[in-house]
Amino acid sequence: MVDSTLIKDAVEAIDDSISESTVKPHLILALDYGVKKMGMALGNTVTETARAFDILAMDNGQPDWDNLLGIIKVWGVARVVVGLPLNMDGSSSMLSKRAHKFARRLAHRIMEQHLPVTVSLCDERLTSVAAREIAWENGWIKHERDPIDDISACILMSTYFADPNSSIAIDAIKPE
């Protein structure tokens, strides 16, 4: 006959090892930074999918900080991935420098709020081109100038999920 205490102890040990090795699922916010508007997408680490969330108006590259931080708090975002619009050769552009500065400011404001949120930058080259193409093909836009920034943020999120190590946390980057 098998001792039920041994079985119970074995099951608890297995449960403990499973819970320790399982990564806690969390919500990620991708931001397609722009001077006039910023696309937003939400994704999670369980399904590794993203959905278009919103397009925020920007005032010369500055968001409504209270609104943005409120979104992060209310949704329980654990990571914010900011798109870094590099030139095709990988060099910085004026917009990439502004996106980098925005990400640093966001990280600082998040730290001031004592939120457990990581901010990182991720290469977003060609996301707008791909987003416009996808939007045309699916009939989501009717005109060439219709906004696609939230779709670009979804593509940015997909890039992040494909290789999370390709993003660089803001605290690991020197200011430009």
- Look at residue 105 and tell me if it is in a domain: yes
Taking residues 2-13, report their average pLDDT.
50
The reply to whether 122 falls in a domain is yes
What is the domain-level CATH number for residue 129?
3.30.420.140
How many angstroms separate the CA atoms of 6 and 75, rounded? 43
Phi, psi (degrees; rounded to nearest 5) at 81? -110, 115
Question: pTM of the full predicted structure?
Answer: 0.78
Q: Going by C-beta distance under 8 Å and a sequence separation of 6 or more, which residues neighbour residue 72? A: 29, 80, 110, 115, 117
Asked whether residue 62 is assigned to any structural domain, the reply reads yes
Average pLDDT for the chain = 82
Q: Is there a contact between 167 and 122 (Cβ–Cβ < 8 Å)?
A: yes
Amino acid 5: pLDDT: 53
User: H or E element: which one contains 56?
Assistant: strand 49-57
Residue 3 lies in a domain: no
pLDDT (tens digit per residue) in 87-143: 888 888 888 899 999 999 999 999 999 999 999 998 887 777 777 787 788 788 788
Residue 143 lies in domain: 23-172
Q: Which amino acid is at 39?
A: G
Asked whether residue 18 is assigned to any structural domain, the reply reads no
- How many domains does the chain contain in total? 1
**CA neighbours closer than 13 Å in the CB half-sphere of residue 96:** 16
